[in-house]
A and B are shown apart, each in its own frame.
Chain A
Amino acid sequence: MTNNTNIDKINSFQKQEQKQEMKHQVITFVLMIVFTLIAFLAVASDLDKIFVIPLILILAVVQVGFQFYYFMHMKDKGHEIISTLIFSGIWIAAVAILTFTTIIWW
């Protein structure tokens, strides 16, 4: 009997913790929607492109950070190898894009 009630306590604690986390996820989602709206509105308005392009690129990077760290849990413990993998991929991506945009000009 005592054993059972202990387990119940642990489970209600876990549930509470998960509820809290789910709340953070929903906040993340709302922020992502807001960033998307800002990006689309910046393009729809007739602002200077020297201003708009860096803005939408920064918004995209922040949004992707939210996806990785919150939705895909990279902020949690035990994700060191995973971070290494993804950042290696991002590094190669950066090099590839830099190379292709500088060596091809016709």
Chain B
Amino acid sequence: MSQEHSLNPENLPKDPAKATLEGRNKFLGLWFFLGGETVLFASLFATYLALRNSTAGGPSSQDLFGLELVFIMTILLLTSSLTSVYAIYQMKNYNFKKMQLWFGITAILGLGFLGFEIYEFYHYITDYGFTFRSSAFGSAFYTLVGFHGGHVVFGLSWLIAIMVRNAKRGLTLQNAPKFNTWALYWHFIDVVWVFIFTVVYLMGMVS
């Protein structure tokens, strides 16, 4: 069977993302990348933890952070993680339309998260004068949270690109691994956020 043919439940393997060598290599390659990403974020978290009390007379974490906004952002990103699980579930059922629908919902939730983050930064800068240059705490905060936000921007662009590019093709053994690796990347973004909301926001409001 040629790879150009659209997949349907009668002619295809259990997991279309890992049916070809190329697919398995992409899968392994993405995990190599995620191992490196862990180290990248480790250095940013370590820097933040070391500098979070060096406010240089500027606003501190207790002055800035609010629980409600962070809670909404957390729920949005967590839910988008679940919707991408649904999308992969539909991929394994060879239901391309439903997969696209769930990925579409994931993208909307991700955009919502991004909107709140942009509002958050805007709020800190205009209402508190808290910028990247305010203090060591400011630099560490914007670098860590901003890097995560940058990953969300990249993830959304990546998702929209593969959704548009494959819209008319349907599901094939060629593009299934691409959607699968994207979903893994997105879960990793959520993993990083779990530590950000715990270490940066919650711990920042307690101490």
Residues in A lying within 8 Å of B, measured CB to CB: 4, 7-8, 11, 14-15, 18, 21-22, 25-26, 29, 32-33, 36, 39-40, 43-44, 49, 52-53, 56-57, 59-60, 63-64, 67-68, 71-72, 81-82, 85-86, 88-90, 92-94, 96-97, 99-101, 104, 106
Could you say which residues of chain A place their CB within 8 Å of the CB of B143?
none
Besides the known contacts A89-B37, A97-B42, 10 further A-B residue pairs in the complex with CB atoms under 8 A apart: A15-B93, A18-B92, A33-B75, A36-B197, A39-B197, A39-B202, A56-B203, A89-B36, A96-B39, A96-B45
Residues in B lying within 8 Å of A, measured CB to CB: 9-10, 14, 28, 31-32, 34-39, 41-43, 45-47, 49-51, 54, 67, 71, 74-75, 78, 81-82, 85-86, 89, 92-93, 184, 187-188, 190-191, 194-195, 197-199, 202-203, 205-207
Contact, CB under 8 Å: B194 / A89 = no
Contact, CB under 8 Å: B9 / A89 = no
Question: CA A78 – CA B89 in complex, angstroms?
Answer: 19
Could you say which residues of chain A place their CB within 8 Å of the CB of B198?
39, 56-57, 59-60
Could you say which residues of chain A place their CB within 8 Å of the CB of B45?
93, 96-97
Contact check: which of A21, A39, A89 meets B42 at CB < 8 Å? A89
Contact, CB under 8 Å: B93 / A92 = no
Could you say which residues of chain B place their CB within 8 Å of the CB of A67?
81, 187, 190-191, 194
Contact check: which of A43, A63, A72, A90 meets B194 at CB < 8 Å? A63
Contact check: which of A18, A32, A53 meets B78 at CB < 8 Å? A32
Q: In the assembled complex, how far is the CB of residue B72 from the closest CB belonging to chain A, in whole angstroms?
A: 11
Contact, CB under 8 Å: A86 / B35 = yes
Contact, CB under 8 Å: B85 / A25 = yes
Question: CA A59 – CA B69 in complex, angstroms?
Answer: 20
Mostly helix, strand, loop or mixed at chain B's interface?
helix
Contact check: which of A33, A68, A92, A104 meets B51 at CB < 8 Å? A104
Could you say which residues of chain A place their CB within 8 Å of the CB of B9?
11
Could you say which residues of chain B place their CB within 8 Å of the CB of A39?
197-198, 202
Question: CA A25 – CA B90 in complex, angstroms?
Answer: 13
Contact, CB under 8 Å: A100 / B39 = no
Could you say which residues of chain B place their CB within 8 Å of the CB of A88?
35
Q: In the assembled complex, how far is the CB of residue B36 from the closest CB belonging to chain A, in whole angstroms?
A: 7
Contact, CB under 8 Å: B34 / A89 = yes
In the complex, the chain A residue whose C-beta lies closest to that of B31 is A82
Could you say which residues of chain A place their CB within 8 Å of the CB of B37?
89
Contact, CB under 8 Å: A40 / B36 = no
Could you say which residues of chain B place their CB within 8 Å of the CB of A81?
28, 31
Could you say which residues of chain A place their CB within 8 Å of the CB of B71?
36, 40
Could you say which residues of chain B place their CB within 8 Å of the CB of A32?
78
Q: Pull 24 A–B residue pairs with CB atoms less than 8 Å apart, ordered by A.
A: A11-B9, A14-B14, A18-B89, A26-B82, A36-B74, A39-B197, A53-B203, A53-B207, A63-B194, A64-B195, A71-B187, A72-B184, A81-B31, A86-B35, A89-B37, A92-B38, A92-B42, A93-B39, A93-B41, A97-B45, A100-B47, A100-B49, A100-B50, A104-B50
